[in-house]
């Protein structure tokens, strides 16, 4: 894959542009913000979303979608709730069978669809893939060791694309479970908000470890109900991503939960951020789908109640702790 298009100029898109360039590809990054395009092209830093990290001068940025898609493969890195609109803008310019790796982690609010389902509707000529796993933008941009999952409909095709992204410090493992790779990343964002609330409230490491473990049980229940494979959910794009996101305030979702736990309001937190915390929007979708299918998701339900303003943190914590006793494994 000698030419890679990165669609999305946020921190993660910029980090993946660094990754692709490090692997030897020509990289064109599309961003909707003129100031991001100018910053990358003139001073070789994304001063808006990833300040302080120097970029290879051969990474080019553009606001022209047609120019950005004169490539061999695409990393689609826009926020989940914007994917439909961005993919629609891509449609007139994307050649048939171009690999498009979905890099956002979420479910579409309003339709309750996976990102691959959205892509199939508006960009049917694309060869869908999913890149997901425990990875912070700053770590990847700096070249720190990272391993992720790259899933495609055909595992051999995933291996071919993975070879074009791999490097000494970046190891993509190939898979063919598109559903599992997406569900792990989407659901863990919701659950990470809960872990952040625990830390923000000062409830202790024991509480966070217990919550993370029970959160993983919810993730597995949810994933298996939608056809995800257990080995995917226990792998990098499921358990691995959950561990990372629930253990560091580098996570936008955990840091949002932390701020909520300290008593700040959603309006205050979101008002000072330019980056997106996907779990805020995915919580309602996960909860609705779980209710419809009879999947027990008390932690995800609690997060939904808090972020949508239906209940207070103290009320939710009390309700979780007073649920009826049950066997750990059913």
On whether the CB atoms of residues 247 and 258 are closer than 8 A, the answer is no
Q: Is residue 326 part of a domain?
A: no
Under DSSP, the state recorded for 167 is: B
Q: Based on the fold, state whether residues 16 and 143 are members of the same structural domain.
A: yes
Does the pLDDT value for residue 36 go beyond 70?
yes
Q: Which domain holds residue 261?
A: 179-321
Whole-angstrom CA distances from 224 to 105, 139, 201, 303 are: 18, 31, 32, 21
* The domain boundary residue, chosen from 132, 159, 176: 176
CATH code (residue 87): 3.40.50.720
Q: Is residue 328 part of a domain?
A: no
The pLDDT of residue 330 is 65
List, for residues 215-273, the tens digit of each pLDDT value: 999 999 999 999 999 999 999 999 999 999 999 999 999 999 999 999 999 999 999 88
The pLDDT of residue 51 is 97
Q: Based on the fold, state whether residues 197 and 308 are members of the same structural domain.
A: yes
Quick one: which of 72, 3, 9 has its CA closest to 45? 9
Catalytic annotation, residues: 188
Q: What pTM, to 2 d.p., does this model score?
A: 0.95
């Amino acid at each position: 894959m000698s030419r890679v298009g990165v669609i999305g100029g946020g921190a993660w898109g910029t980090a993946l542009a660094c990754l692709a360039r490090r692997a030897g590809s020509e990289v064109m990054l599309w961003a909707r913000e003129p100031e991001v395009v100018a910053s990358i092209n003139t001073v070789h830093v994304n001063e808006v979303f990833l300040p302080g990290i120097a970029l290879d001068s051969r990474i080019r940025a553009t606001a022209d979608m047609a120019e950005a898609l004169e490539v061999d493969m695409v990393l689609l890195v826009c926020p989940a709730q914007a994917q439909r609109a961005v993919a629609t803008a891509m449609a007139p310019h994307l050649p048939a069978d171009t690999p498009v790796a979905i890099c956002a982690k979420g479910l579409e609010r309003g339709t309750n669809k996976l990102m691959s389902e959205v892509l199939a509707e508006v960009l049917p000529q694309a060869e869908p893939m999913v890149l997901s796993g425990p990875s912070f933008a700053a770590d990847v941009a700096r070249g720190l060791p990272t391993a992720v999952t790259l899933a495609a409909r055909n595992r051999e095709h995933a291996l071919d694309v993975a070879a074009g992204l791999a490097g000494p410090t970046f190891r993509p493992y190939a898979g063919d479970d598109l559903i599992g790779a997406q569900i792990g990343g989407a659901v863990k964002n919701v659950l990470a908000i809960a872990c952040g609330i625990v830390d923000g409230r000062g409830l202790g490491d024991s509480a966070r470890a217990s919550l993370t473990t029970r959160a993983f049980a919810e993730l597995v229940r949810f994933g298996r109900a939608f056809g995800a494979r257990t080995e995917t959910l226990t792998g990098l794009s499921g358990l691995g991503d959950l561990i990372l996101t629930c253990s560091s305030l580098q996570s936008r979702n955990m840091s949002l939960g932390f701020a909520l736990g300290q008593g700040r309001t959603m309006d205050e937190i979101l008002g000072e951020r330019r980056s997106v915390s996907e779990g805020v929007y995915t919580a309602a979708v996960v909860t609705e789908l779980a209710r419809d299918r009879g999947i027990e998701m008390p932690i995800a339900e609690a997060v939904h109640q808090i972020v949508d303003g239906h209940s207070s943190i103290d009320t939710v914590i009390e309700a979780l702790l007073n649920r009826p006793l049950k066997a750990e494994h059913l």
